[in-house]
């Protein structure tokens, strides 16, 4: 028996469970794209699948509504693949293990992919139904939204006729998203030279773990610790007391997820090793844990002496200090708040990934701002940091902010439907996290756009959850909106 069998809306959740069985991480969307193409073909619907695996499916209006103005429904195929350290899931081959507990859906030890698998499921249920009232539909499923909205960037929108778009990538029921930050991805590459490890050096593993992490848009203002920048601080403070050499460092797996873990391998001459080293690490661990006792109560700093690990080389002292300085000096987190909406983050960045490859340490960032010139200022800061570090810097996936419109007939209709259903008004807002609406508005003149979705929590983390009652209410709301348009 399937986990979601018998839970309403069954038409939606049956598709969602099937989606969860198909690997669909970013840059691994061929299988889910082919699945959606086969689904459209089985219904006899016109479908376009482009070279990147983006999908557009067309469906005529329900009887009597064939000649109305089309509506675009849109979501993205890829999910952020994060898992607990002890999870044996292989995201490239395995489906997710779903858990239902008191009306809350999650996955065992991994992200759930409700962001944005639920959008696919909603749309599939509408496309296969013969009883739902709707105008002509143009359904867009994009790829690689989570790594810079690459699918939306490349999508050819000329086949589309609709001027109203409902994006299904929001995470709070009862909220109509009407604007969001723009963003970009940045990669800083710090080259290094190596030297032979000292004969009497001992390899040591330092690990920061147990952090809560989270979405770098929706949780960036929560004050949660970033494992990568915290490791920079740990290494800097240790280097002030001990002649350590850096061998390698790695932390985080997604630039748009606040990193929960970071690991560094260092060496220290055995003649300099005594109880004070472990005592210093433990002392710093207690300080970090105290500082983040509210946001990251499970934070842990561990040291392990690697008697079975042989480090033949270490990064030179000059370049070790340069890398450690980069981690300590880098801008990270909230940079400024919106002047018009004091509770809304205006500009931020997240150092999501640090990795050591042959001859360089890479630092990967997700930048966001609702003001394009402020995003540019943040890019300039990283450029200056790169110059001082003698490093290289590149940007990709630059997408515009989605500006709030004072006049939106689509928003007015959706507010009216919400009031009729629930007797009160929805919350209309802008947000700091990025959705693809701004890109579509830049491609389609006169496009009117709103984003909605059911309640989800802790997306981009293994704690991600989806409220099933909220899924049903949002489904009912979406169907009433389609009837009213």
The kind and range of the H/E element at 476 are: helix 468-484
Check if 101 is active-site: no
**Domain coordinates in residue numbering, the chain:** 10-181+401-484, 184-399
pTM, two decimals, is 0.77
Pairing of strands 164-167, 448-451: parallel
Is the CB of residue 255 less than 8 Å from the CB of residue 332?
no
Annotated active-site residue in 145, 150, 436, 448: 145
Beta-bridged to residue 73, according to DSSP, are 139, 166
Query: Residue 299's pLDDT is what?
Result: 98
Q: Which residues contact 267 (CB under 8 A, 6 or more apart)?
A: 197, 198, 201, 202, 203, 204, 244, 245, 247, 311, 314
Annotated active-site residue in 17, 78, 82, 144: 78
Query: Residue 355's pLDDT is what?
Result: 97
Query: Residue 372's pLDDT is what?
Result: 87
Query: Residue 463's pLDDT is what?
Result: 94
Q: Which residues contact 339 (CB under 8 A, 6 or more apart)?
A: 346
Residues in the chain, pLDDT under 70: none
Is the CB of residue 401 less than 8 Å from the CB of residue 179?
yes
Query: Residue 368's pLDDT is what?
Result: 94
Query: Residue 199's pLDDT is what?
Result: 80
- 10-181+401-484 maps to which CATH number? 3.40.630.10
Query: Residue 483's pLDDT is what?
Result: 98
Check if 200 is active-site: no
Domain 184-399, classified CATH 3.40.190.10, yes or no:
no
Report the 10 Å Cβ neighbour count for 42. Answer: 9
């Amino acid at each position: 028996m399937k986990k979601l069998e018998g839970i309403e809306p069954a038409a939606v959740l049956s598709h969602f469970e099937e989606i969860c069985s198909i690997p669909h991480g970013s840059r691994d969307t061929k299988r889910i794209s082919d699945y959606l193409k086969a689904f459209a073909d089985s219904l006899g619907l016109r479908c376009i699948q482009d070279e990147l695996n983006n999908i557009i499916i067309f469906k005529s209006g329900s009887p009597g509504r064939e000649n109305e103005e089309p509506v675009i429904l849109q979501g993205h195929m890829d999910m952020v693949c994060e898992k607990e350290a002890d999870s044996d899931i292989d995201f490239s081959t395995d489906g997710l293990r779903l858990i239902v507990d008191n009306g809350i859906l999650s996955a065992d030890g991994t992200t759930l992919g409700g962001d944005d698998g639920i959008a696919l499921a909603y749309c599939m249920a509408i496309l296969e139904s013969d009883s739902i009232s709707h105008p002509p539909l143009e359904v867009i499923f994009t790829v690689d939204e989570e790594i810079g909205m690459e699918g939306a960037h490349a999508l050819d929108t000329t086949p589309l006729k609709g001027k109203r778009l409902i994006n299904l990538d929001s995470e709070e029921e009862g909220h109509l998203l009407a604007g969001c930050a723009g963003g970009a991805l940045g990669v800083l590459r710090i080259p290094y030279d190596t030297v032979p490890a000292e004969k009497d050096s001992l390899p040591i593993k330092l690990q920061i773990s147990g952090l809560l992490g989270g979405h770098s848009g929706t949780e960036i203002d929560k004050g949660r610790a970033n494992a990568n920048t915290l490791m920079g601080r740990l290494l800097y403070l240790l280097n002030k007391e001990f002649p350590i050499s850096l061998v390698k460092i790695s932390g985080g797996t997604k630039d748009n997820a606040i990193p929960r873990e970071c690991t560094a391998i260092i060496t220290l001459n055995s003649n300099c090793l005594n109880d004070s080293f472990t005592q210093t690490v433990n002392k710093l661990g207690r300080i970090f844990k105290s500082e983040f006792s509210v946001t990251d109560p499970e934070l842990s700093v561990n040291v392990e002496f690697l008697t079975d690990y042989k480090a033949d080389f270490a990064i030179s002292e000059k370049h070790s200090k340069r890398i450690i300085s980069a981690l300590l000096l880098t801008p990270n987190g909230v940079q400024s708040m919106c002047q018009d909406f004091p509770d809304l983050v205006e500009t931020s960045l997240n150092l999501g990934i640090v990795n050591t490859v042959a001859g360089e340490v890479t630092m990967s960032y997700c930048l966001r701002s609702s003001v394009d010139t402020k995003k540019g200022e943040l890019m300039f800061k990283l450029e200056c940091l790169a110059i001082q570090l003698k490093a290289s810097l590149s940007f990709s996936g630059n997408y515009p902010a989605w500006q709030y419109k004072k006049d939106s007939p689509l928003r007015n209709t959706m507010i009216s439907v919400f009031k009729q259903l629930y007797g009160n008004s929805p919350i209309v807002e802008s947000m700091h996290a990025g959705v693809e609406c701004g890109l579509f508005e830049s491609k389609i003149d006169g496009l009117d756009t709103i984003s909605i979705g059911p309640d989800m929590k802790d997306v981009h983390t293994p704690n991600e959850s989806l409220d099933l009652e909220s899924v049903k209410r949002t489904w009912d709301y979406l169907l009433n909106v389609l009837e009213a348009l």
